[in-house]
Structure 1
Amino acid sequence: MTLVKFQLEPLTCPSCIKKIEGKVEKMDGVEEVKVLFNSSKVKTVFDKDKVTSEELKKVIEKLGYPVVA
């Protein structure tokens, strides 16, 4: 399993958490996803043989949350 953290632009509402976690956790290979609202970070644990960090980043950004780091 691989752990990757993404830094997002500041999150503005707690409902953002459910939106991001709901979409990312449905991706094949994702073991865990946790959105940290106060720090605007997304922590993911995934199987790199099934999904890449770039694919995760693209899904988050398609939801409207730019990844800055």
Structure 2
Amino acid sequence: MVEVTISVEGMSCGHCKAAVEGALSKVDGVASAEVNLAAKNVTVQFDSGKVSEENLKNEIEEAGYDVV
């Protein structure tokens, strides 16, 4: 398992938190995704053999948020 913290702009509420965590949780290989609204980031644990960090960033952007 690999853990990364990705900075995300545009999250401001519980719905945003749920949208980002939900989008990432659906990705094969993701074990957990936890948004920190105050820090404007999401910490993701994933199997790097199944999914890349770039794939995770694309999922966040497809959910409507900006990866910085």
* TM-score, structure 1 as length reference: 0.92
Mapped partners of 2:44, 2:2: distance in 1: 8
User: Aligned pair count?
Assistant: 68
> Which 4+ stretches in 1 moved above 2 angstroms?
none
TM-score, L = length of structure 2: 0.93
Summarize deviations over 1:12-45 as a string: whole Å, max 9, x none: 2221011111111111000111001111110000
User: How big is the alpha-carbon RMSD for the aligned residues of Structure 1 and Structure 2?
Assistant: 0.9
What runs of 5+ residues in structure 2 fail to find an aligned partner? none
Structure-to-structure mapping, 1:9-28, within 5 angstroms: 9-28=9-28
By percentage of residues, which structure has more strand? Answer: 2
**Paired AA for residue 22 in structure 1:** G
Measured in 2, the distance between the counterparts of 1:8 and 1:24 equals 13
